[in-house]
Amino acid sequence: MIYLSVTTIPSRINNFYSFYENIMDGIKKPHKIILNVYITSLRGTKLDIPTDLNNLDNLIIIKHSEDYGPILKFLAVFEDIIKDEDIFIYCDDDIIYSDNWLETLINNIQQNPKKISSIALNSGVNTFCRFRYFTFNGFNSFLRGFAGVGFYKRIIKELNKMEIIHFLDSFEKKMSDDLIISYFINKNQIQCCKVKGDYKDFCYETEACNNKDSISQGVNGLLLPNKQKYHLICLDDPKILKFFDIESYIFCLNKGDKDIYNEFNKFKSKLIKSEHFSLIRFGDGELHYIKRSSHSHTEHSCSENEIPLELSELLVKSLELNDKNYFIGIPCGCLEKKDNFRKNLNESYNLNLSNCTFANLFTNSMSFKFKKEILPIIKKFPIVLISNNKTDVLKMQKNNFNIIKWFPVKYNAWKDYKTIIEDVCDHQRKNKIVDHIFIFCAGPVTNVLAYKLFLQEKKNIYLDLGSSIDVELGLGSNTRNYNSWFGWKKITTCYWNTPTFAYQISCNSSSKSQFFRFCLRFLALIYTITNIISNKINSFLGS
């Protein structure tokens, strides 16, 4: 189904017939047109709905309890009648649209099903004196609704209607639908794309657009024109400004993007509060296992089609499980331009992106922070450990790891995956183990095992730590770049989709010259020594 949603104001309600005819005369027609109405407008005038509007075919009139301004046309997407697979489009009722307008917009939506399509798409930038529309840079999206915006409902599932309504805490914000919608789209990292062509080829202003009571003209002096109004709103609200400042535009930053430090603190908080959850990691090794292709790694390897089909299918299930307490770490965005890993992952599997986090949450630059802040918390829990058979468990116990059960696994643990899963799950079930931490360091078998355990008993913490505790396991101190003395990745800052600050050093080695990496190695050595000395001093003072 294709839904087209608009709002109107009392002075324009009688012109709705012309708008309706304009849309229905197009090459492509919507299945339903939604007219969003209310009793009393924000302007204090009553909206009387002509009775014969009800006779128009395919028209749905939604009566809202309160007028939140022109953003009502967007809020209609949250109505139950609109399903996830439906296309939702919003536009203005005081614009004349060309015959091919809707057809062009729908084609673009279907060609880009995971993006919002907009005919007038810019990057909004709050300059020193006013808000401006700059050429879209691919990251900072500013949707201008008058020309038409559309998408599949399913791609905005992260948006919350009540959160948007609560954000409309002033008359100015309620009259700034483009700014507020664009803020929430950027905040939730929903990608947008521009329809090819100039918007002037698809839509034309009517006389009503230039009336003094139109929002763009200031509503009869009640408001400033849009660009001045947006400028002041941004200055008054830093949460909005950070998406539309000059730095974000020049450096293609998304300052509202998922931040690795915030994600780290989120899971740290869960551990402190003893909240039950599962965190597994999914990288190229796991993908090779799913595709049953050849793969070679320091802890596991396989030949073409050697991976059992059942294991491959279980890995897919472990990736696609959707539960509010089930989290999946996937590679950061630093390497995305190089391998398109996350794009392929998202297109090939039913991934719940809201529960995805950084796979390297406890490695690279987070390694020292992990060992200083999270390992002490983990040591307070009774632990079930699944790790390499060369693990020095006695040493770990001497270092205050409360390991009550250890399941050793061999190199290429996937060959024994059935036995490992059966042994660990039986142990949990027979002993009715709850409120424990299950620590996994077993390669791709980890994902399937954590998945099975989570379905069996959710009152535990299932934590895939992998190589982040190689030193603590007694497996060596140079097993990864980040845990070696000169490992430069320990001073990088990974990003989710795009950098969140200027000159951010990512973990992508291919984007750095040999000389630059040499400089980073030198800085990494200084960083390592500084952290070791700091930890020794803190340990001495603490004792």
**Per-residue pLDDT band at 367 (split at 50, 70, 90):** very high
- Residue 459: other Cβ atoms inside 10 A: 10
Asked whether 7 and 13 are in contact (CB, 8 A), the reply is no
| pLDDT attached to residue 501 | 82
Query: How many Å apart are CA 258 and CA 357, to the nearest integer?
Result: 8
- Residue 225: other Cβ atoms inside 10 A: 14
Q: Which two tokens stand for residue 52?
A: 């014969």
**CATH number of the domain where residue 150 is located:** 3.90.550.10
Pick the closest to residue 167 from 75, 88, 43 (CA basis): 75
**Per-residue pLDDT band at 18 (split at 50, 70, 90):** very high
352/475 same-domain check: yes
φ, ψ at 487 (rounded to 5°) = -70, 105
Last residue of a domain, one of 192, 215, 250: 250
213/296 same-domain check: no
> Can you name the residues that pair with 134 across neighbouring β-strands?
123
Rounded to two decimals, the pTM is 0.76
What is the arithmetic mean of pLDDT over 118-141? 95
The answer to whether position 56 is within a domain reads: yes
The answer to whether position 257 is within a domain reads: no
> What DSSP character marks residue 425?
H
| pLDDT attached to residue 298 | 67
The answer to whether position 71 is within a domain reads: yes
Asked whether 278 and 454 are in contact (CB, 8 A), the reply is yes
Asked whether 452 and 462 are in contact (CB, 8 A), the reply is no
Query: Cα dist. 306→314, 315, 412, 415 in Å?
Result: 15, 15, 12, 10
| pLDDT attached to residue 214 | 56
- Convert the pLDDT of each residue in 304-316 to its tens digit: 778 889 989 999 9
| pLDDT attached to residue 95 | 95
Number of structural domains in the chain: 2
Higher pLDDT, 338 or 237: 237
The answer to whether position 226 is within a domain reads: yes
The answer to whether position 154 is within a domain reads: yes
The answer to whether position 480 is within a domain reads: yes
Last residue of a domain, one of 204, 220, 250: 250
Query: How many Å apart are CA 542 and CA 432, to the nearest integer?
Result: 37
Domain that holds residue 200: 2-250
The answer to whether position 157 is within a domain reads: yes
Higher pLDDT, 111 or 206: 111
Query: How many Å apart are CA 67 and CA 470, to the nearest integer?
Result: 58
3-state secondary structure of 110: helix
Q: Which residue has the tokens 């390297």?
A: 360
159/270 same-domain check: no
For 97, counting Cβ atoms within 10 Å of its Cβ (0-12 exposed, 13-18 middle, 19+ buried), the class is buried
- Would the pLDDT of 510 be above 90? no
- Would the pLDDT of 75 be above 70? yes
267/159 same-domain check: no
- Would the pLDDT of 299 be above 70? no
What is the arithmetic mean of pLDDT over 113-136? 96
- Would the pLDDT of 284 be above 80? no
| pLDDT attached to residue 254 | 82
- Would the pLDDT of 122 be above 80? yes
Query: Cα dist. 363→269, 356, 386, 441 in Å?
Result: 18, 16, 19, 14
287/241 same-domain check: no
369/436 same-domain check: yes
242/319 same-domain check: no
What is the arithmetic mean of pLDDT over 447-451? 96
- What is the bridge-based pairing of β-strands 121-126 and 87-90? unpaired
437/330 same-domain check: yes
173/322 same-domain check: no
Average pLDDT, the chain: 91
37/63 same-domain check: yes
- Convert the pLDDT of each residue in 224-251 to its tens digit: 889 999 999 999 999 999 999 999 999 9
293/246 same-domain check: no
Query: How many Å apart are CA 503 and CA 151, to the nearest integer?
Result: 33
Pick the closest to residue 326 from 154, 456, 495, 458 (CA basis): 458
Strands of 16-94, DSSP E: 32-37, 59-63, 87-90
Reported as type and span, the H/E element at residue 406 is strand 403-409
- What is the bridge-based pairing of β-strands 87-90 and 149-152? antiparallel
- Would the pLDDT of 342 be above 90? no
Query: How many Å apart are CA 102 and CA 83, to the nearest integer?
Result: 20
215/292 same-domain check: no
- Would the pLDDT of 393 be above 60? yes
| pLDDT attached to residue 356 | 94
Asked whether 10 and 42 are in contact (CB, 8 A), the reply is no
The answer to whether position 353 is within a domain reads: yes
Last residue of a domain, one of 194, 227, 250: 250
